[in-house]
Amino acid sequence: MPSYHRYYHISCLRETALSCILSAEGQKVLKIVELAQSAEDMLAVNKSVKSMVATITNLEIVLSNKISLFEECLCATCEVV
């Protein structure tokens, strides 16, 4: 498999992992809304989720920048690793 194909495959796996993390964060919010005893509980979870979403957003930017490096590179040297 050419290296740029492996790179895209790895990037897709990372995207899938980030998607799973975001889904888990959504489940966390749903559960706290169901079980929260106070507004403070909800605010604490909200802060945690907000931090995780910000981190994932930064990772998405990094992944996007990495992928853009290979968008137009279909030369023979890209196939050698």
> Where residue 75 falls among pLDDT bands split at 50, 70, 90?
low
78 near 70, Cβ under 8 Å?
yes
> Structural domain of residue 9, as residue ranges?
3-79
d(CA 25, CA 7): 27
Contact indicator for 27, 3 with CB cutoff of 8 Å = no
pLDDT for 31 equals 93
Query: What's the average model confidence in pLDDT over 3-16?
Result: 79
Into how many domains does the chain fold?
Answer: 1
User: pLDDT tens digit string along 11-68?
Assistant: 788 889 999 999 999 999 999 999 989 999 999 999 999 999 999 999 989 888 877 7
**Tokens, residue 4:** 């740029």
